Amino acid sequence: MATARSAAAAAEKRRLILDAAVRVFARQGFHTCRVSDIADEAGVAYGLVYHYFRSKDEVLDTLFLERWNVMLDAIREVDTQDILARKKLEAIAGFIVDSYRHDPDLMKVIIVEVTRAANSFGQTHLAKITEAYNLIGAVVEKAQAAGEFRSDISPQFAAMAFYGAIEQVLTGWIFDSLPQSAGGFDEAKRLIVETICSGLDR
């Protein structure tokens, strides 16, 4: 039987297509690229994309869900730790910034084509996206109950401000509105958390 070997080979081919799709989506955008662009980039025939995926949409869905679920797990894991909320937010911001550092193309695709494109794809994944806000909101809420954070700012709101700040910074990097200086990644984590937790006031 060739099942074991085939399964591994099949997974590899699937991954090959997914990785090619990331590069193509990042370069040309989901709407603007053709399925043949993905096939060409992966070095496979057009039809093979449809052997591994039901549709062009499913390719993007897969990329998004793979990464987003990893992030949700990471946030949940952080929240189980017995540390200050500020440290938790640092860890979350750090995870997201590191995701970008590790694979900027993938993060660009997720942010530009899914998270920030709530009309088309975001709608499908709205629940998943909202889950992230809720997890962050829960971190804030507990910190308020524990007296670490002030209680006159709704946790949902704080979560939006925090996540929004991160996403805007990534978007700035993605489109070169914000310089990506060397060592800027660690600096970025610090600045985001510092701003949200301590504020701009002197």
Partner DNA sequence: AGATCGGTTGACTGACCAGTCAATCGCTAG
Partner DNA sequence: CTAGCGATTGACTGGTCAGTCAACCGATCT
Does residue 117 belong to the site contacting DNA (CB under 7 A)?
no
Closer by beta carbon to DNA, 47 or else 199:
47
DSSP-derived secondary structure letter, 117: -
Task: Kindly state the smallest distance separating residue 87's Cβ from DNA, in Å.
Answer: 44
Q: What's the start-to-end Cα distance of the chain, in Å?
A: 70
Q: How far is it, in rounded angstroms, from Cα 132 to Cα 160?
A: 10
Q: How far is it, in rounded angstroms, from Cα 27 to Cα 21?
A: 10
141, two tokens? 């809420």
Closer by beta carbon to its own copies, 3 or else 176:
176
Does residue 157 belong to the site contacting its own copies (CB under 8 A)?
yes
Work out what residue 36 binds among DNA, its own copies, none; the CB cut-off runs from 5 to 8 Å by kind: DNA
62, two tokens? 């897969």
Residues 6+ apart with CB under 8 A from 127: none
Decide if 174 contacts 112 (C-beta within 8 A): yes
Does residue 56 belong to the site contacting DNA (CB under 7 A)?
yes
Residues that bind DNA in the complex, under the rule CB under 7 A: 1-2, 5-6, 9-10, 13, 33-36, 44-48, 50-51, 55-57
Residues that bind its own copies in the complex, under the rule CB under 8 A: 29, 31-32, 86, 112-113, 116-120, 122-123, 126, 129-130, 133, 140, 143, 147-150, 152-154, 156-158, 160-161, 163-169, 171-172, 174-175, 177-179, 188, 191-192, 194-202
